[in-house]
Amino acid sequence: MDTDLRKYLQQTHNQLTWKEKIKIAYGIILALSIIHSENAIHRDLHSGNILNLQLNQKWYISDFGFCGPADKPLNCIFGNLPYIAPEVITGKGYTFASDIYSFAMLMWEISSGQPPFMNYEHDYILAIKIIDGKRPKIVSGTPLRYANLMKKCWDADPVRRPDINTLVGEIFDMYENKLDELPQPKAKDKMKTTIPQPKAKNKMETISSKSFTSKIYNFENLPEPRNATEKEQIAPFYISRSYDFSSSDNSDNISSKKLSKVFKKLQINSKNVDDFNNLSNEKNVNTESSEYKVDKSEINSNYIMQDDHKKEIEQQAKKHSLDINDDDEKQDELEISGNVSKKIRTS
């Protein structure tokens, strides 16, 4: 992998056309559709785990440490706060729709070139801001159709968000048929969306670390999420009432990197989530990193999964990353290390 989405946008955003931006979004949503087709939820989508291989211009979704069956909820709230859906913050658990919310934040990041809520600490203030319906300001020059779809995806009500199949169709149509109608950013808009470059190197490292850090949070006695009005979106943020919020302290704070180590011998199945729910309550876990690689290719017109060596995959889980072609590809290859191959054809 040459770079992740966050760094890729930082380096190239001002040179990207809207066609190229939508191409990235299309690749990501295709990958997410494969995950959802397996009745699994990723639970920790952010720009640090969307990876790009420059040689063949393919994109990958990585970090499956918390990916698991939709019917086996986790007993904690884990993630990168700006990308966590408001209903998850209030304790209602992860769903397919919460992944869609995270994708909306990625859509905004692609449009703006910077992580959402970059200037906020990932703490009490930001959590309340998200619950109260505040969202990143839509960047000037963003195509209306793209902006409207993004707003539907970050709706406070998960029921009102589009499902994965609708999103694949909408973004494909936007990419395939409407590109000539998409306005390109004006020069002044490009200047507005340029990522500010901190003078001090350690400040940039702090921002990068904050943008990519996932951790466990504890949220209690929070109100129901809501959508903010347009007036509230542009008004200065303030807290008008008291909430009970806490996140893990230094002794309990488990980063995404450390937590992923717990899963070296775990697979995506019902037992895995039970094992994690037990492990997530332990403060000192001695673990090693876990990954397994996924690849996809054509068999027929439907999503058909064929497991050739299930016994072996149960004995060894290796590097994982979901290879997605960000073009309007007709075929994708899905390969899982441990000598398990699965084939998929996307229609």
Quick one: tokens of 238?
A: 């303030």
Exposure of 331 in the CB half-sphere (CA atoms within 13 A): 7
88 CB-near residues (< 8 Å, 6+ apart): 77, 79, 94, 98
CB 115 within 8 A of CB 109: yes
- CA-to-CA distance for 254 and 108, rounded, in angstroms? 27
- CA-to-CA distance for 146 and 276, rounded, in angstroms? 37
- CA-to-CA distance for 80 and 147, rounded, in angstroms? 23
- β-sheet bridge partners, residue 77: 217
Residues forming the active site: 44
Question: Nearest 5°: phi and psi at 256?
Answer: -60, -40
- CA-to-CA distance for 326 and 140, rounded, in angstroms? 25
Matching residue, tokens 């931006």: 21
**In angstroms, what CA-CA distances link 9 with 63, 182, 187, 197, 309?**
20, 19, 17, 13, 39
Matching residue, tokens 């504890």: 218
**Regarding beta strands 331-336 and 340-345, do their DSSP bridges make them parallel or antiparallel, or are they unpaired?**
antiparallel
